[in-house]
Structure formats: structure tokens, C-alpha cells
Amino acid sequence: MSRRIPVGTVDELLPGQRKLVFVDGRSIVLFNIEGTIHAIDNSCPHNGASLASGQLDGCMLRCPAHGLRFDLRTGRMPGPGGLAVGTFLVHTSDGKLELSIDESSTALSSAPACKATT
């Protein structure tokens, strides 16, 4: 079963911006990539480093601690295998942002593809 948790408004997360939120004791970071909102756990699965200040290249986020890269759409590292970070569905309703928190497991985002910057 999943539930929606309000985490802000669309107006406060403009394209290119990110926002750190806390839900049920969990740190989650939201990213607005060209108008699409992505949300991931704010903890690198490698060593627990905060991902909130990581460098973005399209939908690829680089962990500031050790350089591991994660796709914001899937939470996975590029290539087969590798580590993954939890992702969450983000809904917009009446100008508000809501995270879908799945009580039994992390809900994977089904967001469209991101363009890499050159």
C-alpha cells in the first residue's frame, strides 16, 4: 500500500533546482530536470554520503563523496549490476508536490528520459 505525502509546491522547485525533504525519518532529495520532478533517497548506498549536493549531468547524479553515478530515473548505476539508490514517484496536484511512499518497498519512478548536457 502506498500513501502520498505533501513535500512542497511546484513553484518552489523550478527547473534546475533541488530540494531536500524529510519524510518519516528518511532524507529524500527532489530534483527538477527540465520540468520533470525526480526523487531519490539522499544516502549513497556505497557509504551513506549525502547525494543532495551531487553534480548533475542530465539525469545522472554523481555522488560528491566517491564519484559513483546514479540515474535519477531508475536509481541505478549505469551498466549491468552495481549499486542502486531508492527512487520515489512524485505527483503534482493543484500546484502541490506529493511523494508516493510505498509501505512495503520503494516505488520506482517512471519518469521520461533526461537529456545529458554537453
Model pLDDT, residue 117 = 45
Alpha carbon distances (Å) from 111 to 46, 50, 65, 108:
24, 22, 26, 9
Q: How far apart are CA 99 and CA 82, in angstroms?
A: 26
pTM of the shown model: 0.84
Mean pLDDT of 35-46: 96
CATH topology of domain 2-102: Rieske Iron-sulfur Protein (2.102.10)
Mean pLDDT of 92-116: 69
Reported in sequence order, the residue ranges of the chain that DSSP labels E, i.e. its strands, are 2-9, 18-23, 26-33, 36-41, 55-57, 60-62, 69-71, 87-93, 96-102
Residue 15 in grid coordinates? 527547473
Helix (H, G, I), strand (E, B) or coil at 12: helix
| Higher pLDDT among residues 12 and 109, named by residue | 12
